Structure 1
């Protein structure tokens, strides 16, 4: 593996500097007065945070060559210098690891895929190390330091401690992944739930830009949800906020891998849909692609399995809307490839279960390949780099401490 350059620290690790920097990531370039209006900070606070970031070349001030003389400080726009540093992001699935190398603005410079020979921690860490090694070679060619690595994994993840408490698809419990990955790659590592990582990327650069309250719901192998409230991705006191896949829809429904019955995931996850189609048709369906083909050909039982999944997802979306009142819910995930088979049921179930004005929530579909999930992992690495360590605590835990 190539040597990793990660001794550098962000020059101003304060909440104000973090807020200004992330605002510029999503909305820049902006003048100082515009930054003050968007962040709600005073002009003095903006100036205090911006000056060292410009001096250390993390921010660039665009000065017009023929700027007119003005009274007071010129209103030159400020922007993030994306080429100042690089970050790596890795998304771990049950079958492969996907890695990206991004600049400081989270623009992808390189991407790699690597199959997983096995799902045990040793095999996954070896694959991650090999993948990151290839990305570091790319970084050497660019001559820019890599300052952090983000790893996104499904399941119950404690980001503060870097521990995967439980990942059903990987069959992991209590794995100190951040520590292990840092040892194997030589980089500072941030580990988080994959949907929360994707939500950070959507908040900064995607369908959530400019929104204070929104949610990302992913459908596919599992049913996940990332939640943004008052501009912050919420993890909850225990780090499991947003687990709508394990909200019970039908108490007498199929058994879920979590041990309960009738969870959204036990009805609408890929494995649940395949099991229902096999039971209804007697066909030994190999995977989602074959299941979708059967449903689109109108095979009895196949279409009904997707319709039931759509109803469960619609009720789950209504639960999110009723509890949180988000401005928007973004539906993504590999399961969108079959969305035409259950979109009507999603809409109908949502409309029936959403209470009052919650039904006005903007529901959008946004197909995102796994490279975007890896980009989300890079985004959490950038987030950890620019934020003070105390600011990584889950929101509700901070508010009640």
Structure 2
């Protein structure tokens, strides 16, 4: 396939993904392509089965217009999320709907064992009878750390003790599929763009408050990776100079003040509980010290989010955390601090949104990397290009 037709196909597919379903006339207006190019491109995509007709609607003159949409079942994608203790995988269609999932626990952070676990998970997902004859467009892998996604290298991951580990190519060889590696918060931001709360936004951040604190950032409708793949380290922004010691060796970092491990450390010291649920229970049963812990954490997070918003002029900030973390005491303080410290919040339509963390969302974000690459190639897998 020549470059020019593929460019047109990519443009058409991206427009359909963003406005799914859509008429040919609207595609012509959105893409700036000629009506004949749009007609030729959509005809080819319909013949391949990647597009399907999806009813009609009337234009401004009352004429019926056939609507087109992506055929979600045309192909599959696999997403894998690597954490400190396990590997969770999902098999999705092209609209990010999870069709199957599986998890393995890890006993070692050695790359070869993790590659073996990835291969085992891929086999268990693909070998289900209903998926055996379906094309898999690629495998996305999300993990904490600094990632050079172009070379598939983990530059640094304190969680896994990796530095300069060339992982992507080795995993591709083992799986015999294209592999797309990315920092976990970045992968989550891509997933939210296409299948979640960020649909319709061009400038937003997904802030994750799970083990550590990080952010995936979209600016100008593109994932922002920076010069070294180390963007979004909002957890290591100093909020209280000279404050609590952080695992990075500095003091007063947001992560040292408001992360779940930091809260649990203080909860243990105060005798309020050993788990997040126990700390929430203490707050809900009137223990003032527990309520203050959550309120202070929310205040610190809200302050950090206001700084992020001012720097990047965002349309939305999506806060992703376990449901227990996003309790009334923390959210109330977060929103008050965010509004108090942000000159943009009140009158610009800036949205503060919440996403409850679960085991699937990280792997779904990883799958979205493979899906996005597939559409950027004009609906052609990396193996066929």
How many angstroms apart in 1 are the aligned matches of 2:282 and 2:111? 36
Asked whether the equivalents of residues 276 and 325 of structure 2 are also in contact (C-alpha less than 8 Å), the reply is no
Q: Higher mean Cα deviation, 106-115 or 334-343?
A: 334-343
2:108 alignment partner in structure 1: 118
User: Is this contact kept in 2: 1:91–1:98, CA < 8 A?
Assistant: yes
Question: How far does residue 51 in structure 1 lie from its aligned partner after superposition?
Answer: 4.1
User: Which residue number corresponds to residue 387 of structure 1?
Assistant: 376
Distance change >3 Å, CA 24–CA 81, structure 1 → 2:
same
1:287 is matched with 275
1:33 paired residue number: 25
Give runs of ≥4 in structure 1 deviating > 6 Å.
Answer: 9-13
User: Mapping of 1:118-267 within 5 angstroms?
Assistant: 118-138=108-128, 141-267=131-257
Quick one: distance in 1 between partners of 2:326 and 2:117? 30
SS of residue paired to 2:77: strand
Residue 340 (structure 1) shift: 2.0
**Aligned pairs (5 A) from 1:327-346:** 327-334=315-322, 337-346=325-334
Structure 1 328/135 Cα, relative in aligned 2: closer, same or farther at 3 Å? same
Check conservation: 2:339, 2:346, Cα contact below 8 A.
no
Instruction: Give RMSD over aligned pairs.
Output: 2.9
Aligned residue pairs, count: 373
Match of 1:20 in 2: 12
2:197 and 2:32 map into 1 onto residues whose CA distance is 23
Cα gap change, 1:226 to 1:305, in 2 (>3 Å): same
Superposed displacement of residue 151, structure 1: 0.6
Counterparts of 2:49 and 2:32 in 1: how far apart (Å)?
A: 24
Deviation, 1:134, is 0.6
SS in 2 for 1:331: strand
Cα contact 2:302–2:335 (8 A) shared by 1: yes
Superposition deviation, residue 335 in structure 1: 5.9
Q: Structure 2: how far apart are the matches of 1:171 and 1:356?
A: 39
- The alignment partner of 1:216 has SS state of strand
Alignment CA distance shift 1:76-1:142 (3 Å): farther
2:356 to 360, 367, 385: 367
User: What residue in structure 1 maps to residue 268 of structure 2?
Assistant: 278
| 1:62 Cα deviation after fit | 5.3
SS in 1 for 2:66: coil
Q: Is contact 1:270–1:288 with CA below 8 Å preserved after alignment? A: yes
Q: Secondary structure at the match of 1:239?
A: coil
1:19 and 1:291, CA in 2 relative to 1: closer, same or farther beyond 3 A? Answer: farther
Change in Cα spacing, 1:214 to 1:37, as seen in structure 2 (3 Å) is farther
**In 2 relative to 1, CA 38–351 (structure 1 residues): closer, same or farther, beyond 3 Å?**
same
TM-score, L = length of structure 1: 0.83
Mapped contact 1:89–1:100 kept (Cα < 8 A): yes
The range that moved more, 122-131 or 77-86, is 122-131
SS at match of 1:106: coil
Question: TM-score normalized by structure 2?
Answer: 0.87
Provide the C-alpha distance between the structure 2 equivalents of 1:112 and 1:296, rounded to a whole number of angstroms. 35
Provide closer, same or farther for how the CA distance between residues 325 and 22 of structure 1 changes in structure 2, counting only shifts above 3 A. same
Match of 2:75 among 73, 79, 85: 85
8 Å contact from structure 1 (residues 26, 205) kept in 2: no
Offset at residue 359 of structure 1 (A): 6.6
- Structure 1 residues without counterparts, runs of 5 or longer: 1-8, 69-73, 390-401
- Counterparts of 1:117 and 1:294, CA distance in 2: 34
Q: Equivalents in 2 of 1:339, 1:43: separation in Å?
A: 52
Q: Provide the C-alpha distance between the structure 2 equivalents of 1:209 and 1:80, rounded to a whole number of angstroms.
A: 16
CA contact (8 A) 2:277 2:324 kept: no
CA contact (8 A) 2:210 2:259 kept: yes
Cα offsets for 1:315-351 (capped at 9, x unmatched): 1110121112222211112265443231121012112
Alignment partners' CA distance in 1, 2:150 and 2:334: 35
SS in 2 for 1:375: helix
List runs of 5+ in structure 2 lacking aligned partners.
Answer: 59-63, 379-385
